[in-house]
Structure 1
Amino acid sequence: MNKEQGTITVLVKESIAYITFYHPAGNSFPGILLKDLADTITSLNKNREVTLIVLKSEGNKTFCAGASFDELLAVDNLEKGAVFFNGFANVINAMRTSDKIIIGRIQGKAVGGGVGLAAACDYVFATEEASVKLSELAIGIGPFVIEPAVSRKIGIPATSEMTLNATEWKTAAWAKENKLYNEVFGSVVEMDEALDQWIQRLASYNPEALYEMKKVLWQDTDHWETLLPERAKISGRLVLSEFTVNALKQFKNK
């Protein structure tokens, strides 16, 4: 996969695996990149030398712009719609079922599926530039696939506030106050210094205890294996609606 199609890279340093994703369109995710990310997270379960995963993206301005807009525009039947929205479902389920603690490094804005990725991390470091938005209702769909992960982290009231204010950016301070982020820093340098110290300390803990803690943190989510694909079908149906087709056309022509 070349740079124009996007990339997923993995660096294992001591007991920590750093997964970095990139796409030229704001670190957005086409389907093939989502599959690669889900497969990468799952494959790391087999590496007993790895205790922690750090999930990050390239660049400074945008952590993740969500799903590929070009692929969204190309959806023209229910089957394609379900497959398209299942991309993030598979990634979230891979993060949920991973036996590694996953730490998010959020250096810039996160939209839609990018918010879902942050929510599916077990602990999150962010900068003050890492604003968040759930914009799906503005184009006639909704954050159905990522909602369980987001609501689990920040609760139904805050999820409702984000979802219904689909054009409004929420600040990193708001995200920290509502527990989407755990730590927020004034700069990338400050964040990375704190992140490095924190993961080194966490990596020194008993790996078996971390694994058991991961299971506890995600208890009562086994039903997501079927829930998220069901939610993907809802979005896949709505994206074909006249309202959404017209909204997407208007957005593209801006």
Structure 2
Amino acid sequence: MEAYVKSTIENGIGTIEFFHPQSNSMPSSQLKNLVEEINNLGKNDNAKVIILKSAGVKAFCAGASFDELISIKDFETGKTFFSGFANVINAMRNSPKLIIARIHGKAVGGGVGIACAADYTFATENASVKLSELAVGIGPFVIGPVVERKIGTSSFAQLAINATEFYSAEWAQEKSMYQDVYETPEEMDAEINLLAEKLAQSSQDAMTKLKEVFWKGTDDWDQLLTERAAVSGQLVLSEFTVNAINQFKKK
């Protein structure tokens, strides 16, 4: 199957689904399409709440596309690539609709950022998390603000520093990254649908105002995340990072 991002609306519930054959990783085109779908549903009066999910039964999102990372040869290209993740987080933050994330499997790097940028996050017991960026010489700079905001500085530092270790869904729930964790996807989906149906019957104005409260203090993120993208865009050019990514790709 080829990569895609698609959205549907049914009974007031907008659903965005993305897929990439390489463990739902995120090349630039995928990030751009995801931003467009988030923005489109945010403007569509027929969608009162948004569910964000990925396809497949394994990884929720493996983060940045290593194939694209290894192809970056100059700073501007690197900055543009990492700005794609900044744009996704800001689109989720700025959307007037509450966003529910469905995390069915492992979330790495940018996938953790998506989980933390959602307003309410469901997961299964298989949805362990890892911030692997430091292991390839970059660091989770772009997604750092949203992860730190959700789980606190100490827990963010733990993830960022211990960059080769997966942390369990139970750990993520304890740190408030996940609100609810279920044994099976079927159990999770039943609860997601129940909450989404309730929200679809709620006041749109009230939900939008509530979301503004949740995200108070992040008005500078358009600039902040762009600055962070520049940091990553420079580091990705290093010899250390090139060698590290090549080693990861051989595994």
TM-score range for the pair, normalised by the shorter chain length: over 0.9
Question: Which one of 57, 62, 71 corresponds to residue 60 of structure 1?
Answer: 57
1:233 aligns with 2:199: no
1:36 aligns with 2:29: no
Partner residue of 1:211 out of 208, 211, 220: 208
Return the letter of the residue paired with 2:219: D
Once the two structures are superposed, the pairs formed by residues 87-236 of structure 1 within 5 Å of their partners are 87-236=84-233
Tell me the TM-score normalized by structure 1. Answer: 0.97
Letter in structure 2 aligned against 1:140: G
Equivalent residues of 2:26, 2:64 under 8 A apart: yes
- Structure 2 match to 1:71: 68
Query: Structure 2: how far apart are the matches of 1:7 and 1:26?
Result: 13
When structure 1 is superposed on structure 2, of 144-153 and 240-249 the one drifting more is 240-249
The separation in 1 between residues aligned to 2:250 and 2:212, in whole angstroms, is: 46
Alpha-carbon offset, residue 24 of structure 1: 0.2
CA distance in 2, matches of 1:140, 1:97: 30
Task: Report if the CA contact (8 A) 2:66-2:249 is conserved.
Answer: no
Describe the SS at the equivalent of 1:174.
Answer: helix
Is the contact between residue 140 and residue 160 of structure 2 (CA under 8 Å) also seen in structure 1? Answer: yes
Runs of 4+ in 1 over 4 A off after TM superposition: none
Cα separation, 2, equivalents of 1:163 and 1:101: 27
Deviation of the 1:14 alpha carbon:
1.2
For residues 180-232 of structure 1, the C-alpha deviation after alignment (integer angstroms, 9 at most, x for no partner) is: 00000000111111111111112221111001101111111010000001000
- The residue type paired with residue 226 of structure 1 is Q
> Secondary structure, in 3 states, of the residue corresponding to 2:73?
coil
Question: Can you give the 5+ residue segments of structure 2 that lack an aligned partner in the other structure?
Answer: none
Name the SS of the counterpart of 1:65 in structure 2: coil
Give the distance between the partners of 2:167 and 2:25, measured in 1 at CA.
19
Q: Percent identity among equivalent residues?
A: 53
Q: What secondary structure does 1:54 align onto? A: strand
Name the amino acid aligned to 1:210: M
Root-mean-square deviation (Å): 0.9
Match of 1:86 in 2: 83
In the alignment, is residue 14 of structure 1 matched against residue 11 of structure 2?
yes
TM-score by length of 2: 0.98
Task: Figure out how many residues of one structure are paired with residues of the other and give that number.
Answer: 251
Tell me if structure 1 keeps the 8 A contact 2:97–2:208: yes
Task: Report the Cα distance in structure 2 between the residues aligned to 1:121 and 1:251, rounded to whole angstroms.
Answer: 29
**1:3-62 C-alpha deviation (Å, 9 max, x unpaired):** 42x101111011110000000000111101100110111122221121100000001111
Q: How far 1:244 sits from its partner (Å)?
A: 1.2
Unaligned runs of 5+ in 1: none
CA distance in structure 1 between the aligned counterparts of 2:14 and 2:61, rounded to whole angstroms: 19
